[in-house]
Structure 1
Amino acid sequence: MKKKHFSLIVGLSLLLLLGGCDAALIDPQGQVGEQQLTLILTAFGLMMIVVIPVIVMTILFAWRYRENGEATYTPDWAHSNAIETVVWFIPFVIIAFLAWLTWQTSHSLDPHKPLESDVAPLEIQAVSLDWKWLFIYPEQGIATVNEVAFPAGVPVHFRVSSGTVMNSFFIPALGSQIYAMAGMDNDVHLVADDPGTYFGRSVHYSGAGFSGMTFDAISTTDEGFDEWVNKVKESSKTLTFPEEYYVLAEPTRNHPVEYFSEASPELYTQILESFHGGSGGSQQEKHGEQGGDHQGTPMSAEAAE
């Protein structure tokens, strides 16, 4: 009786744990996410071709060859061509198909590949900081922190970099994460099919404030996007490089959503060049090596030298 109660408690606990899981990966909201879900389900189905028969045969063999069973006793049996054929041929076919599928999807789902669309893409520049995300809209001349918006059905070209240690940019419902690295201009193309608010975050541990490094990705109608842009432009804050940028780049935890009505058109480029000794001096000289202790703690300029 105690064993039954224990099994029931374990089962209910697992259900409760699974109930808190983010199901965004299996509920995609864009064409990239849908293709990735198809890939996941296809690979899972191929694996089940092996897993299910193995489980069934394990149970059947245990039953058939149990003590006092009715199986024929054949102590001299050692080989079967039929069994060898099945054991080798089926896995070979599955592996060959998975290899082809991997090659095919590695190209079709390349995050750097622009999405086919009759609509011109919207460029948004994303910079990871300690511990927040800065989004720059070069065409609109605005910037935001921990909130990004774009029209549904419009391909979005995210240019991704980091002003600190390495992070990873990911909106699970839309698919394709991409690394954000200091001084590197990375990119990923995404699109949302319908209006909605989707969860985004960094999925690469970057220090003590990592758990709060999340943002809202808002997919709107065309009119809704224009209204959102106008709302951002009503802010009294501006963002220029280097003074205001370095103030923003200071480590903070659970940083609130913040709007900047004006952002320097060259801000993203200046952030990149700051790590290569370009205009504005080096990032390390200006702000110290953020994350030098893997917790986003700035290092002094003297220590950096």
Structure 2
Amino acid sequence: MSACNAIASPVLDPKGPIAAAQTQLLLDAVAIMMIVIVPVFIMAALFTWRYRGTNRNARYAPNLAYYWPVEILIWGVPAGIIFWLGLHLWSATHRLDPYKPIDPEVPPLRVEAVAQDWKWLFIYPEQDIAVVNELVFPAGRPLALRITSDTVMNSFMIPGLGGQIYAMAGMQTRLHLLADEPGEFWGRNVQYSGRGFADQQFRAIATTTEGEFGAWVEKVKASTQMLDATTYEQLAKPSVKVPVTYYSGVQPGLFDSIIAKWHGDGNHLHAQVTGTEQAR
């Protein structure tokens, strides 16, 4: 992924409602803090000029111990800012809860994301496909992600669409995103995870229409590769700069098995998936 892709979706150029709300929250916080920062720089310049060595008329009060207007100013303003920021951030945190669906009336596209060394696996359970290092979804349709890690702690982030959320082995987190317009976005792991960390990136593509997304699904289904337990075990081995790879089918329950194996012995994944195969 080139540097141009990274620049195309910075935090300050949001392409979805979640990222836009987070950007506005950041700008609001910076603006309110300017109430303290701007006067400090102005007073630094004024005091330097007023108390310069050649100014013999400047009032000097070395024994001043208490002056209540100044006390109110230096304590009241910062306290007010902290109170406002705390209230504003508390409200925004609940409003932007990553587990909260963006629009309950619109069925989301469900995707299961697995962090590996050093790549991302995306499983589409409803479409019965899986893709490495490429996340495709229709613009204007909510994206509901279940996220876990099959290695050390990672952090999933698409800066142009929303904030980061951690992925940990044996656990799952959820994230809801939405792209307002079609385009290609840059996504990556933002939690250091070893030697391949710098290259653990992926493309997030918002298609123009549902039909375009459907055509992409058919393209993936044309692949001859299936993602079963054996294939997954090979894929999960540490590797760097893995190209986009398509799987036309996925073993049922694979995502849940990846989580469950961290709560049991190392054979849990293979045993559970093999049991599913026999049941079929």
Q: TM-score, normalised by structure 1?
A: 0.82
Structure 1 residues 78 and 216, CA gap change in structure 2 (3 angstroms): same
Q: CA deviation at 1:75?
A: 4.5
DSSP 3-state at the match of 1:184 = coil
Question: 1:63 is matched with which residue: 21, 45, 49?
Answer: 49
Supply the distance in 2 between the matched residues of 1:254 and 1:263 (Cα, whole angstroms). 23
Q: Which residue of 1 aligns with 2:87?
A: 100
1:137 aligned to 124, 133, 141, which one? Answer: 124
Q: CA RMSD in A?
A: 1.9
CA distance in 2, matches of 1:205, 1:74: 53
Unaligned runs of 5+ in 1: 1-19, 286-305
Per-residue deviation, 1:80: 2.2
Matched, 1:223 2:235: no
Instruction: Give the TM-score taking structure 2 as reference length.
Output: 0.89
Residue of structure 2 equivalent to 1:40: 26
% identity of equivalent residues: 47
Match of 1:111 among 81, 87, 98: 98
Q: Whole-Å Cα distance in 2 between the matches of residues 74 and 206 of structure 1? A: 57
Q: Is contact 1:117–1:155 with CA below 8 Å preserved after alignment?
A: no
Given that 1:275 and 1:284 are in contact with CA atoms closer than 8 Å, whether structure 2 keeps it comes out as no
- Distance in 1, Cα, partners of 2:219 & 2:198: 28
User: Partner of 2:274 in structure 1?
Assistant: none
The equivalent of 2:263 in structure 1 is 276
| 1:51-90 alignment, distance < 5 Å | 51-69=37-55, 70-90=57-77
User: For residue 32 of structure 2, what is the amino acid of its counterpart?
Assistant: L
Cα 1:63–1:106 shift into 2, 3 Å: same
Distance 1:195 1:117, change over 3 A: farther
Give the structure 2 partner of residue 237 of structure 1.
Answer: 225
- Secondary structure at 2:233's aligned position in 1? helix
**Alignment: residue pair count:** 264
Q: Mark the CA change 1:209 to 1:73 in structure 2 (over 3 Å): closer, same or farther.
A: closer
Tell me, in whole angstroms, the C-alpha distance in 1 between the residues paired with 2:255 and 2:269. Answer: 13
C-alpha separation between the residues in 2 aligned to 1:53 and 1:23?
Answer: 34
For residue 229 of structure 1, what is the amino acid of its counterpart? V
Q: Deviations over 1:156-192 (max 9, x none)?
A: 1100011111111110101121111111121111111
Cα distance change on mapping 1:164 and 1:61 into 2, 3 Å: same
* Residue aligning to 2:275: none
- 8 Å CA contact 2:9–2:186 kept in 1: the answer is no
| Counterpart Cα distance in 1 of 2:123 and 2:61 | 74
**CA spacing shift, 1:195–1:67, aligned 2, 3 Å:** same
Query: For residues 1-305 of structure 1, what are the structure 2 equivalents within 5 Å?
Result: 24-69=10-55, 70-220=57-207, 221-241=209-229, 243-277=230-264, 281-282=267-268
